[in-house]
């Protein structure tokens, strides 16, 4: 019974709380900019509104355009069930390896880029090309940052990895901190945040993610927006529970699970606040400056691996 309950929490936590994570980030960003901002629960209302609307689909759209929202949502939920959220006592041998999680998300990015060019629109084409550029350059830093943890924890299983990092002495945490900086840059790139993309823009020459989904409407647009929120909270959870795994439950006791859930929400709030602060203090970079920042993430992760010895 306990195992079933904890797995239910594990499976539903990302899709249930991801709109709230986006709403909290927007609210904190508004407060930092001396604006009132919308309610943190506004993304739930936006999703409900989109789910009630009719769809308009181009006659030139193929099965890729129609299937991508469902596939994208499924992949983000599957990835969310594959990472440690509340306990290291669980295990997911099917998709719990960090490379499997990375490439589940990469598969979603690939199909989203295909959907962006599927209808032949100009905006979708340049949005997809920019998305693949950023994704390709961010992948190296992301994988090497997680590889740093895998080498320290001597496993690639994310649940066992979190427990291994939590047991490290303080003197061995320098590579973890350095790898987290590289991971945080990859988080901003993969989730379309500043300085890589403006999640609130609809300006033709600056948007990346929004350009790919201009042709979507109604229920499919709701699924894509929900999937984007899932990905944001998923990366936040990876940063919170792999690089700072303290607070995760070591068993399936309900008291420990409740405490671990509270700690996770606190760590996620801190990371959302960090993203909001960053977006309030810097401007979006030009597309030609993005590779320099992503190479910095790659180099930081390599230095972290070099410090392990």
> Tens digits of per-residue pLDDT, 26-81?
999 999 999 998 999 999 999 999 999 999 898 888 999 999 999 999 999 999 99
Q: What pLDDT was estimated at residue 203?
A: 61
Extended beta strands in 121-202, E state: none
Q: What pLDDT was estimated at residue 103?
A: 93
Can you list the residues of the chain whose pLDDT is less than 70? 1, 201-206, 309
What per-residue string of b and e applies to 203-224 under the rule 16 or more CB within 10 Å gives b? Answer: eeeebbbbbbbbbbeebbbbbb
State which residues form the domain around 25.
Answer: 2-308
The strand pairing partners of 97, in sequence order, are 157
- Closest C-alpha to 207, from 279, 284, 138: 284
Q: In Å, what is the CA distance from 216 to each residue of 83, 193, 221?
A: 30, 21, 5
Q: Is the pTM of this model over 0.75?
A: yes
d(C-alpha 71, C-alpha 304), whole Å: 34
Asked if 130 and 212 touch (Cβ cutoff 8 Å), the reply is no
Residue 89's SS3 state is coil
How far the first Cα of the chain sits from its last, in Å, is 43
Total domain count for the chain?
Answer: 1
Q: What pLDDT was estimated at residue 306?
A: 92
Asked if 158 and 100 touch (Cβ cutoff 8 Å), the reply is no
Q: What pLDDT was estimated at residue 206?
A: 67
């Amino acid at each position: 019974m306990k195992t079933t309950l904890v797995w239910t929490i594990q499976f539903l936590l990302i899709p249930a709380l991801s709109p709230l994570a986006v709403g909290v980030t927007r609210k904190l960003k508004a407060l930092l900019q001396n604006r009132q901002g919308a309610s943190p629960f506004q993304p739930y209302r936006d999703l409900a509104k989109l789910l009630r609307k009719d769809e308009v689909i181009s006659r030139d759209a193929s099965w890729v355009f129609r299937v991508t929202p469902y596939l994208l949502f499924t992949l983000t939920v599957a990835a969310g069930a594959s990472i440690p959220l509340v306990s290291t006592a669980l295990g997911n041998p099917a998709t719990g390896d960090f490379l499997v999680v990375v490439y589940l998300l990469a598969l979603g990015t690939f199909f989203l880029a295909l959907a962006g060019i599927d209808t032949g629109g100009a905006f979708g084409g340049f949005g997809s090309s920019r998305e693949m550029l950023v994704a390709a350059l961010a992948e190296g830093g992301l994988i090497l940052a997680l590889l740093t943890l895998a080498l320290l924890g001597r496993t690639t299983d994310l649940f066992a990895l979190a427990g291994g990092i939590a047991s490290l002495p303080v003197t061995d945490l320098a590579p973890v901190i350095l790898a987290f900086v590289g991971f945080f840059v990859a988080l901003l790139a993969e989730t379309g945040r500043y300085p890589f993309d403006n999640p609130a823009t609809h300006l033709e020459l600056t948007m990346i993610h929004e350009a790919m989904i201009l042709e979507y409407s109604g229920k499919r647009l709701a699924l894509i927006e929900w999937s984007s929120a899932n990905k944001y909270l998923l990366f936040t959870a990876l940063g919170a529970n792999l690089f700072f795994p303290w607070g995760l439950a070591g068993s399936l006791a309900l008291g420990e699970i409740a405490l671990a859930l509270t700690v996770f929400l606190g760590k996620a709030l801190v990371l959302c606040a960090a993203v909001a602060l960053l977006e309030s203090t810097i401007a979006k970079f030009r597309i030609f400056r993005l590779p320099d920042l992503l190479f910095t993430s790659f180099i930081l992760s390599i230095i972290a691996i070099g410090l392990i010895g």
